[in-house]
Structure 1
Amino acid sequence: MSIITRRAALAASAALALTLAVPALAQQNQVVRIGASPGPHAEILEKLKPLVAKQGIDLKIIEFSDYVVPNQALDAGELEANSFQNQPYLDNQVKDRGYKIVSVGLTVNFPLGIYSAKYKSWGEVPDGATIAIQNDPTNGGRSLLLLQDKGIIKLKDGVGFKPGPADIVSNPKKLKVIEIEAAQTPRSLADVAAAAINTNYAVDAKIEPTSAILREDPKGPYVNVIAVRAADKDKPWVKTLVDAYHTPEIKAFVAERFKGAVLAGW
Structure 2
Amino acid sequence: MSKLLSLLTAGVLAVAAAAAQADTLTIAASPVPHAEILEFVKPRLAKEGVDLQVKVFDDYIQPNVQVSEKRLDGNFFQHKPYLDEYNKSKGTNLVLLTPVHIEPFGAYSRKYKSAAELPQGATIAVPNNPANTGRALLLLAGLGLIKLKDPSNILATERDIVENPKKLKIRQLDAAALPRVLDQVDAAIINTNYALQAKLVPTRDAIFFETGKSYYANALVTRPDNQSAAAVKKLSAALNSPEVKKFIEDKYKGAVVPAF
Compute the TM-score of the two structures, normalised by the length of structure 1.
Answer: 0.72
Residue of 243, 246, 253 corresponding to 1:249: 243
- 1:100 lines up with 2:93 in the alignment: yes
Unmatched runs of 5 consecutive residues or more in structure 2: 1-8
With over 3 angstroms needed to count, the CA separation of the structure-2 counterparts of 1:145 and 1:255, relative to structure 1, is same
Q: Distance in 2 between matches of 1:260 and 1:184?
A: 23
Answer with 1 or 2: which has the greater Rg. Answer: 1
Match in the other structure for 1:61 = 54
Are the counterparts in 2 of residues 131 and 175 from structure 1 also a CA contact under 8 Å?
Answer: no
Aligned AA for 2:124?
A
1:151-187 Cα offsets, whole Å, 9 max, x none, are 65431238542411x322245xx23211235345522
Please show how residues 1-266 of structure 1 align to structure 2 within 5 Å.
25=18, 29-115=22-108, 122=115, 124-125=116-117, 130=122, 132-134=124-126, 136=128, 138=130, 139-150=132-143, 153-157=146-150, 160-164=154-158, 166-170=159-163, 174-180=165-171, 181=173, 182-183=178-179, 186-187=182-183, 192=186, 195-199=188-192, 202-203=195-196, 207-210=200-203, 211-217=205-211, 220-266=214-260
SS in 2 for 1:39: helix
Structure 2 residue identity aligned to 1:245: L
Structure-2 separation of matches of 1:247 and 1:34: 18
**Given that residues 219 and 265 in structure 1 are in contact (C-alpha distance below 8 angstroms), is that contact kept between their aligned partners in structure 2?**
no
Q: Please list the CA deviations of residues 89-115 of structure 1 after superposition, one character each: whole Å capped at 9, or x if unmatched.
A: 222222222223101011233322134
> Within 2, Cα distance between the matches of 1:228 and 1:201?
23
| 1:185–1:144 distance in 2 versus 1, CA, 3 Å | farther
Measured in 1, the distance between the counterparts of 2:154 and 2:135 equals: 10
Change (3 A) 1:246 1:151: farther
Q: Is 1:103–1:225's contact at 8 Å kept on the other side of the alignment?
A: yes
- Equivalent position SS for 1:77: coil
Greater mean deviation of Cα atoms: 25-34 or 39-48: 25-34
Task: For residues 122-173 of structure 1, give each alpha carbon's deviation from its aligned partner in whole angstroms, at most 9, with x where no partner exists.
Answer: 5x55896846232735444321111234565431238542411x322245xx
Task: For 1:167, give the aligned amino acid.
Answer: D
Across the two proteins, how many residue pairs are aligned to each other?
241
Give the Cα–Cα distance (whole angstroms) in 2 for the partners of residues 241 and 218 of structure 1: 28
- The 3 A distance-change label for structure 1 pair 107 and 29 is same
68 and 197 in structure 1: CA distance in 2 versus 1, 3 angstrom threshold: closer
Q: 1:51 to 1:149 in 2, by over 3 A?
A: farther
Cα 1:254/1:152, change in 2 over 3 Å: same
Supply the distance in 1 between the matched residues of 2:221 and 2:54 (Cα, whole angstroms): 14
Deviates more, 1:236-245 or 1:152-161: 152-161
Query: Which AA in structure 1 matches 2:98?
Result: G
SS in 1 for 2:27: strand
Contact 2:32 2:193 in 1 (8 A): no
